[in-house]
Amino acid sequence: MSVSSSPASLTAAERQTVRELAARRKPGYTMPGELYGNPLVYRAELEQIWRRGWLFVGHTCEIPTAGDYFTFDLDKDSLIVIRNDDGAVNALWNVCRHRGTLMCSESQGRVGRLVCPYHQWAYARDGALVSCRGMHDEIDKSQLGLLKAHCRELEGMIFVSLADEPLDFDVAAEAIAPLLRPQGFNRAKVAKTVDYMVAANWKIVWENNRECYHCNVNHPQYIKANFDHYNADDTSHRIQAKIEQAVAHSEEKWSSAGLAVSHRRTGMTEFPGMGPHGWFAANRTPLVEGFVSETLDGRQVAPLMGDYADPDVGTLRIRTLPNMWNHSSCDHGVSTRLLPMGIDRTAVRVTWLVHQDAVEGKDYKLEDIMPFWQMTSEQDWELCVAAQKGVSSSHYVPGPFSTYKEYNVDAFVTWCLAHLSSSGEPGA
Ligand code: 3BY
Ligand code: FES
Ligand code: FE
């Protein structure tokens, strides 16, 4: 059964207004303030980006057993992401088929059946209506199962789409799976989750993520482990050659060990701003010499994950727009999930994963695996909050992006605006 995925659609006139606002952005420059601050733009983003794209919701290891579920809320909608009896993960709309009541108000749990709190209609774990006591016999239960949203598993990560006709997921799965598979997220467990409410528009959080121009000064821990900062302020051949050498050496080593290093569809950069495939990217890149993990001193601090036989696997980086990035090392992975909570609020969940058999306190300590990304993330949130305050000022004027250091931010902005300007047709 199909229902409109966007109950409060923008009118044609409102869409036109959004297109006009999007057109005001000067190429190579940051967005005008209205694109961060106008509620109409925010509604258009929900409709044309968030409700159309694939959203990362969580990891399969968060719901290992039949009946395990967590809820996922976007705007006024809620989904129940649940493992059913045959092991598959489904995303059910959290809306009773009797009178529409929210079925699950807990954020996670385990159920035999999903029972509505109002009149106790009961649904199987796959959403089928199994009992509705007190109803007349003519009721056709087969027509009254919980509605399903599109849901896909990708090597231990779960994605949903709220669209009736979602974008092509296979193209992303084919590109990302070979890189992600050896990380073993389907044989992992959550070591820790931290939730943040960041007082910034979701686009500001992405813009911050898409460059490392700010890293040298703001991320002392991150730059010790990663090469990103080198090309920031030193364009000398010596440094470039050093990076290229490290990359070539590592790629050769990984390739001969059967580890994928990149895929050809690099999302935003190859398809700058355009088309349905511009929403994902993944690559494996070396850490600086002496570092085998994104930890404060670069040491391995937990058992190797997945298929890794050697800690020297560099850092695996994956991102899917509009709401996920993941950085993984040989011994742990870190997923960051964004959700827009209003025009100037973004809920961010950071999740640390380790091998499923690793025992806390014995095989790893949270104080070893967490600080690197906790500090880097929190440094970023502070920058985002300051950026939000600035772009909300009456005297914010769009500024120029560095073509050396911020081309990926420019690509992200272009991607957003292309979606805001599109016709509103799925996949357009
Ligand atoms: O600094 C950032 O926002 C992202 C994450 C760490 C490095 N990176 C480019
Ligand atoms: Fe759910 Fe009545 S609204 S059983
Ligand atoms: Fe940062």
Distance CA 224, CA 289 (A): 10
Question: How many angstroms is it from 118 CA to the middle of ligand 2?
Answer: 5
Q: Do the Cβ atoms of 33 and 344 come closer than 8 Å?
A: no
Q: What is the pLDDT of residue 209?
A: 96
Output the residue whose Cα is nearest ligand 2's atom 4. 119
In this prediction, the residues of the chain whose per-residue pLDDT falls under 70 are: 1-8, 229-238, 264-277, 423-428
Proximal ligand: closest to the CA of 379: 3
Q: How far is CA 327 from the centre of its chain?
A: 11
Strand order in the sheet with 55-59: 55-59, 157-161, 148-154, 89-93, 77-83, 68-74, 108-110
Q: Do the Cβ atoms of 199 and 388 come closer than 8 Å?
A: yes
Output the residue whose Cα is nearest ligand 1's atom 7. 212
Q: What is the pLDDT of residues 145-188, one digit of tens each?
A: 999 999 999 999 999 999 999 999 998 999 899 999 999 999 99
Unique residue bearing structure tokens 């579920």: 69
What ipTM is given for this predicted complex?
0.89
Question: How many angstroms is it from 380 CA to the middle of ligand 1?
Answer: 8
- Both structure tokens of 1: 């059964």
Output the residue whose Cα is nearest ligand 1's atom 4. 209
* Burial category of 37 from C-beta neighbours within 10 Å (exposed 0-12, middle 13-18, buried 19 and up): middle
**Is the CB of 119 inside a 6 Å radius of any atom of ligand 2?**
yes
Domains in the chain, please, with CATH? 62-166 (2.102.10.10), 168-421 (3.90.380.10)
